């Protein structure tokens, strides 16, 4: 059970005694109940429970941060925090623009502010929540940037923030629940507009799951819109303002790391000024393409399709088709093996013919869940071949497409 944190418990978590206890059990394989009993015996029930929660969160944090095992956060703070790789990529814009100091108006656990500080930028960070500022301050110490990063407990909408460029990441969660309506985010769209006004540059980090038209209606019109993908997910919608914009209206970026012992940041980016709809095909071609989510959410899929000679399978479905195999970082290319109506008997016959043993389901325009589709359409193995099964809609018809991924 997740412990409800208070300020006193948060201060206890960042104390030397608790940190030492957490380090003792960092790699322990003992059952959680036994570890919890030990923590409780050493520090009391409430702090012990909070230690166990933090220990579990740190395992997840390793996917985001190099020093995740030593950092502090709540579940909501960890979920909203940018992965280190994404924050590192965004920081490059501030560095290239020549900024040496910035304001982080809603810093959360400090992930963005820490990355900016590591790049040598002085950061004045603010948050309205005292527990958050306790953790952000300690995280700056853990990451060795306390000399470049100052954390303040304050409501950014109620004080006069320092001049210069600003980083804004409105809180989109309340406890464990995600807030879908941007008008309920903190700070609100109106408050964000006031904070951006008159500044030379701003970076506004938003959720890519919210419709872009809604974001454009509520927030100040950006000079550039960028959608960032990391580990095959659209992680962030970023509105760039002023001197941080690159001169294009829209951009899709894929962030990844090399496999070297000391990984380098790898980037794939595609930009344009058009938000165009791809032409619709009269029939399926030889090859089938599924777009990276950053390309899709940025509204650039039509532009890229036109450049590559690809067409939509349906005006309302963001899948593409063509007669040539094309290698592009923003598209997964598959050779179509066969297709039929979305009927288990017909699709099973197709899978039997091609000796399919397992499938990866991709779907769009179909409400049925992936586990249900897998169970209904491939109830048993017909061989050892692994294929992609696309469940989708073309016009008024639901279809199933069997394809082989071309790497």
How far apart CA 53 and CA 2 sit, in angstroms, is 6
What tokens does 371 get?
């586990």
Residue 110's Cα: distance from chain center in Å?
17
> Does 308 map to a domain?
yes
Whether residue 84 contacts residue 64, with contact meaning beta carbons closer than 8 Å, is answered with: yes
Antiparallel, parallel or unpaired: β 385-394 and 356-364 = parallel
Higher pLDDT, 273 or 214: 214
pLDDT band for position 278 (cuts 50, 70, 90)? confident
pLDDT digits (tens, 9 = 90+) for 341-355: 999 999 999 999 999
User: Residue 27, Cβ neighbours under 10 Å: how many?
Assistant: 7
44 and 101 inside one domain: no
36 with 90, same domain?
no
Integer CA distances (angstroms), 325 to 125, 268, 288, in order:
49, 20, 9
Cα(96)–Cα(240) distance, rounded to whole angstroms?
Answer: 14
- What is the structure's pLDDT at 273? 83
pTM above 0.85, yes or no: yes
Burial of 268 (0-12, 13-18, 19+ CB in 10 A): middle
Place of tokens 């600003």: 166
Is 291 found in the same domain as 262? no
Same domain, 129 and 169: yes
Say how many C-beta atoms besides its own lie within 10 A of residue 148's C-beta.
18
Residue 391 within any structural domain of the chain: yes
**Does position 3 have pLDDT exceeding 80, yes or no?**
no
- CB of 166 within 8 A of CB of 202? yes
Number of structural domains found in the chain: 3
Q: CA–CA separation, 217 vs 239, rounded Å?
A: 13
* Measured distance CA(199)–CA(231) in Å, rounded: 33
Same domain, 384 and 300: yes
d(CA 170, CA 210): 13
Q: Is residue 397 in a domain?
A: yes
- My answer on whether 16 and 140 are in the same domain is no
- Domain assignment of residue 42, yes or no: yes
CATH classification at residue 130: 3.40.50.150
Split at pLDDT 50, 70, 90, the class of 55 is very high
Rounded distance between C-alpha atoms, residue 245 and residue 273, angstroms: 13
Domain that holds residue 32: 7-61
Q: Which of 272, 297, 313 is the last residue of a domain?
A: 272
Confirm if 347 and 402 have CB atoms less than 8 A apart: yes
Alpha-carbon dihedral sign for residues 312, 318, 322, 324: positive
Is residue 70 domain-resident?
A: no
Confidence of residue 393 (pLDDT cuts 50, 70, 90): very high
pLDDT tens sequence across 74-121: 999 999 999 999 999 999 999 999 999 999 999 999 999 999 999 999
Among 239, 272, 305, identify where a domain stops: 272
Shared domain for 253 and 367, answered yes or no, is no
Same domain, 16 and 127: no
180 three-state secondary structure: coil
Shared domain for 268 and 292, answered yes or no, is no
Contact assessment for residue 86 and residue 256, using Cβ atoms and an 8 Å cutoff: no
Read off the DSSP letter of residue 107: -
Nearest to 113 by CA among 79, 150, 78, 77: 150
Q: State whether 235 and 112 are in the same domain.
A: yes
Clarify whether residues 222 and 301 are in a common domain. Answer: no
Name the token pair of 85. Answer: 């790789």
pLDDT value at residue 4: 83
Cα 357 to chain centroid, rounded: 32
Handedness of CA 15, 21, 107, 141 (dihedral sign): positive
The C-alpha angle 121, 63, 262, rounded to 5 degrees, equals 65
Which secondary structure element, helix H or strand E, spans residue 318, and what is its range?
A: strand 317-322
Q: Are residues 315 and 389 in the same domain?
A: yes
Asked if the structure places residue 281 within a domain, the reply is: no
On the 0-12 / 13-18 / 19+ scale of CB atoms within 10 A, 179 is middle
Whether residue 1 lies inside any domain: the answer is no
pLDDT tier at 174, thresholds 50, 70, 90? confident
The torsion region of residue 311 among left (phi > 0), alpha (psi -120 to 50) and beta comes to beta
Choosing from 218, 249, 272, the residue where a domain stops is 272
Does residue 28 lie within any of the structural domains? Answer: yes
Residue 214: which of 171, 246, 185, 255 has the closest Cα?
Answer: 185
């Amino acid at each position: 059970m997740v412990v409800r944190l208070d300020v006193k418990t948060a201060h206890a978590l960042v104390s030397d005694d608790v940190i030492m206890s957490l380090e003792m059990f960092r790699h322990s394989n003992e059952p959680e109940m036994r570890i919890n009993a030990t923590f409780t015996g050493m520090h009391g029930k409430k702090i012990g429970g909070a230690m166990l929660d933090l220990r579990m969160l740190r395992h997840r944090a390793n996917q985001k941060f190099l020093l995740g095992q030593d950092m502090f956060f709540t579940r909501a703070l960890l979920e909203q925090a940018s992965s280190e790789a994404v924050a590192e990529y965004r920081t490059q814009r501030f560095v290239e623009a020549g900024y040496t100091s910035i304001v982080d108006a809603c810093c959360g656990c400090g992930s963005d502010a820490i990355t900016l500080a590591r790049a040598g930028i002085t950061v004045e960070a603010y948050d309205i929540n005292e527990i958050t500022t306790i953790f952000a301050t300690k995280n700056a110490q853990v990451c060795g940037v306390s000399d470049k990063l100052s954390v303040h407990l304050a409501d950014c909408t109620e004080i006069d923030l320092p001049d210069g460029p600003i980083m804004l990441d409105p809180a989109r969660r309340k406890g464990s629940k995600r807030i879908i309506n941007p008008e309920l985010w903190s700070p609100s769209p109106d408050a964000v507009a006031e904070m951006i006004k008159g500044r030379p540059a701003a970076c506004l980090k938003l959720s890519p799951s919210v419709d872009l038209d809604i974001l454009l209606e509520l927030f100040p019109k950006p000079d550039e819109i960028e959608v960032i993908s990391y580990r095959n997910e659209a992680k962030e919608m970023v509105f760039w303002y002023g001197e941080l914009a690159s001169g294009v209206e829209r951009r899709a970026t894929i962030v990844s790391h090399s496999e070297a012992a000391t990984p380098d940041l790898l980037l794939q980016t595609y930009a344009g000024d058009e938000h165009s709809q791809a032409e619709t095909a009269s029939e399926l071609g030889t090859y089938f393409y599924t777009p990276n989510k950053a390309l899709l959410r940025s509204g650039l899929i039509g532009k890229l399709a036109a450049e590559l000679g690809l067409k939509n399978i349906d005006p309302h479905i963001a899948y593409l088709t063509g007669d040539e195999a094309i290698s592009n970082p923003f598209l997964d290319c598959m050779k179509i093996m066969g297709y039929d109506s979305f009927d288990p008997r017909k699709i099973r016959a197709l899978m039997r013919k091609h000796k399919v043993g397992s499938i990866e389901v991709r779907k769009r325009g179909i409400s049925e869940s992936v586990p249900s589709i897998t169970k209904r359409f491939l109830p048993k193995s017909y061989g050892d071949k692994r294929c992609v099964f696309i469940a989708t809609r073309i016009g008024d018809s639901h279809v199933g497409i069997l394809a082989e991924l071309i790497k």
